Every structure is written in C-alpha cells, then in structure tokens.
Structure 1
C-alpha cells in the first residue's frame, strides 16, 4: 500500500492496510456496502484521501473476483490451466481416481450383484474406501457420523443408495426418495446426498459443498438462492449454475464437472484442496 501516493497519515495507512487484508473474507454485498460508504465520503475533504484509497482497494478486490479476473488468477496459480501438471497434481488426479474407483467398487452391475447376494459388509467396506479417497466430506465430524450411521443401517442404506444411483426412474424421483431416506437416518445434508452422485457421473453431476457453493454464487452473481435443506428443485438449479459456469470459463477448456468443481474451489476456497 503506497501511503505517499494517497497522502495518508501513518495511522490511516495502518487502518487501510488492516481493512484491505480483510477484504478477501468479505461477501460481495459487504464489499458493495464498503464501496458505497467510501463514495459517500468523497465529498468530505477530511476523509477524501482515505475514501479514495479504500475505493481503490475495494474495486481491485471486486475486479479480482469477477469471472474474467478469476480466470486470470487461475492461470497464474496453475500454469497450463486445467491441463498443467500442478493442477493435475493438486486438484484433478485424485478426483478422477475416486471416480474410477467408484465404477470399480459400486458400478451398476457390481453393485447390483452385491445387493442381490446381500453382501452388506462388503458394500460397507467399499463405501468406506470411497469416502476416504477425498476430503470432500469433512473428516473429523461428517465422516464418522456418515459411516457409523451406515454401519448401523447397512441393508436400508445400501438398497437406497443403489436405487438412487442406478434405478431406471427419473432423477427427480430418485433424488426425492434418497432425501427421504437420509432424513430418516439423520443424514439429510447436501454433502451426503451429492457425494456418490458426483463420483458416479462427473460429466453431469456436482458435489455440493455449501460454503464453497454459496461464495461461488455470490462471486458469479448467479440468481440462485441457496438453502441448507436439500431439494431436487434446488439441486437442479445448482446443476444449471455449474453448467453455466463451465460455459463462462470456456477459455480454460474445462472437461467436466471435476474441472468446474476445481474452479469453484479456486473462486471460494474453504479448506485443503487435496485428499487427506
């Protein structure tokens, strides 16, 4: 921060630095409020220099967050973009591996055979293995709840999961029925509902990480109102947003929802980006 350029005192410079350091944590709406307040102070001579400096910082942050700005910072962070070695190492490879393992462990025919022979312990081991391949489901809290509940309700959960993923019914019916099942089991959360769906078909489906999704919607200005209660209607809107975002980042040539998910994490990081 160049205090000489703005003609700020040392105290004002320190205050501006403190505000600027916190800008990445602000929502778009909060940034707009800061911007409006700074504009209102431009007509006051005693606060004009500070207001000008703050406007500059806020506008830089807003510019950084818009999608062209995000594409630029993505390319800077990952040389070669989605096709570079760093992006593959940090973001793509382990997700692709998890999707491949899903097809081996819970693919349609394999899953059906295990269900018909009532090999629920084997299915539980496979589900546990798949959950452990990524850090999508929070490790110290969400994973134990999920796995303990599945272990105590293996036939009910496994049959429900099979119908959700591989039934011939339309997606809305399958989604609604799985939501009802998870509600009965006390697992009615976006992460639990969308994890295996995403692994089963990363060309079309998106894993819903609530905080990352909310911040990505905020940054994009896309008109979806997030709700913590899962529903097919909202999931369908999230899918529309995901495919819309894929089209908006087309200069990066995203291949699938794995790449879109990685870009969303870049837009709104909420934790470690590699598997635990």
Structure 2
C-alpha cells in the first residue's frame, strides 16, 4: 500500500518511493495515500463510473419503477415484517422471537441458502434469545463492544459472518446501519478507490465496519443529486454496480 514519513513537522505519503500526498495531519495524509493508491487498481472507475453503471440499468435512478421492483420493495417488505413481529425496542430485553427473526432472514435472497439453513440451529436453539438481544444491542449502540458481544454469541454456531451480523441491524435501522455482502462490496470499493477494499477481513472487526460506514457516507454524498432515501438504496446501488453484468439485457425504467 505505502507508508508515510515526517519532515519539518509535515507528513508525506509515499508509494513506490514517490510522494502521493502531503499535509500537516497524518490521518488525512494516510487517507489521501489510500485514495491515490486505489486509483491504480485495474478495476477502478471512480464514483462517476459507478453512477454511470447504475444508470445504465436504471435510467431514472432510485426513482425508476424497475429499481423499486427489482431492488428496494422486497427489502422494505422484510423490514416491515421485522418491525411488526420483532420490533427493536421489544427484542432488546424480550424473549421468544426466534421464529419471527428466522422468518425475516428467509424473506430475502440476501443470504445464501446455506447460511439460512445454519441459522435454523441458532434461532431454534437455546441461545436464540441471547443472539437476538445481542443483534439488537449492536443495532442500538453500533460500537465495538456490542459487535464483540454479537460475535461471541454467533461463533459457537459458525455464524459469526458479516452477512448474519449486519442483516438485522440494517433492517431495523437502515438510516444508520449497513448490510455487508463482502465480495460485492470489496469489488465496489476497489472500483471507487476506497480503502475498505484493502482493510476488509472476514473476522467481525469493528474497524472493518467503520470503514464500511465511511464507504457508505462517501457514496451517499456522491449520489446526493439522485436522492437516495436510506442505506437500503446505498446497499442496492453497491449491489447493482458490483453484481449486474455488462451483457445484462434488461434496462428498468
């Protein structure tokens, strides 16, 4: 990736012996260095390229009827189902929500069939209430401690995965949390030159989640004129940019 050096109170970001960034704040210099290095990835086309790719499939952006039908409505339906059957404030301290939560996981195709099958043991087992409460606590606080607690509850079932850990918080609070589908998100990050592509790891590391949220915020700013409503729109944008193939024939007005 590169490194940085200090001289006379100033910081310099270096890669391959060349200066790519400089300034008085080491964190800003490091961020600039990440951004510049990301542009060297052969997949890079920046946020403008991501926007162009998305609009190729949905010319009216987030207001396309086709976008709503293909990408948004089923996620909203899953959210409504979760809010109706296992609302956040009740599950924080309540019990007996295992079947309701399992049904919400099954309501979308955002997790693989294999992952959904493994979740049966989680939400029909003795630890169901503890797992759901841990997920709700992470949704509520969104910090390192609550993510660690959730990881500890999921690990015995081999379900300490980003897809599982972020699914419920994302549906409970799509204005705050983000669902992480690792491969497509890493690909998207590489395409726009964001450091998430290099910092990602499969372990539920809070630094990874923080970088994901930074990627989301930057994407949201870049798309402000398209008026995304929440992170359901941002996650859908990332999915379309990273997963839809160039030879896909459908264009959704």
Q: TM-score, normalised by structure 1?
A: 0.67
1:30-179 alignment runs, 5 A limit: 31=42, 65-111=45-91, 114-115=94-95, 120=96, 123-139=97-113, 141-153=114-126, 156-166=127-137, 171-179=143-151
- The gaps in structure 2 that reach 5 residues or longer are 1-37, 246-253
Q: Which has more helix, going by share of residues?
A: 1
Structure 1: tracts of 5 or more residues without a match: 1-26, 33-61, 272-276
Compute the displacement of 1:270 (Å): 7.3
Q: Secondary structure at the match of 1:240?
A: helix
The CA distance in 1 between the partners of 2:168 and 2:59, in whole Å, is: 30
Specify the SS of the correspondent of 1:204. coil
Match of 2:226 among 225, 248, 252: 252
User: Aligned partners of 1:265 and 1:170: how far apart in 2?
Assistant: 23
- Report how many residues are paired: 205
Distance 1:147 1:211 in 2: 24
Whether contact under 8 Å (2:166, 2:180) holds in the other structure is: yes
Deviation string, structure 1 residues 150-184 (Cα, Å, up to 9, x no partner)? 3233xx23223224314866632211111111123
Cα offset, 1:70, TM superposition = 2.3
CA contact (8 A) 2:78 2:171 kept: yes
In structure 2, C-alpha distance between the alignment counterparts of 1:132 and 1:148, rounded to whole Å: 14
Mapped contact 1:66–1:219 kept (Cα < 8 A): yes
TM-score (norm 2): 0.73
1:180 aligned partner: 152
Question: What is the CA–CA distance in structure 1 between the aligned matches of 2:148 and 2:94, rounded to whole Å?
Answer: 24
> Helix, strand or coil: the match of 1:31?
coil
**Is the CA contact 2:134–2:153 (under 8 Å) kept in the aligned structure 1?**
no
Q: Distance in 2 between matches of 1:261 and 1:169?
A: 21
Which is richer in strand? Answer: 2
In 1, Cα distance between equivalents of 2:211 and 2:183: 16
- Closer, same or farther: CA 262–114 of 1 in aligned 2, 3 Å: same
Report the secondary structure of 2:237's partner residue. helix
SS at match of 1:264: helix
The 2-side partners of 1:208 and 1:73 are apart by 20
CA 180–73 in structure 1, closer or farther in 2 if over 3 Å, else same: same
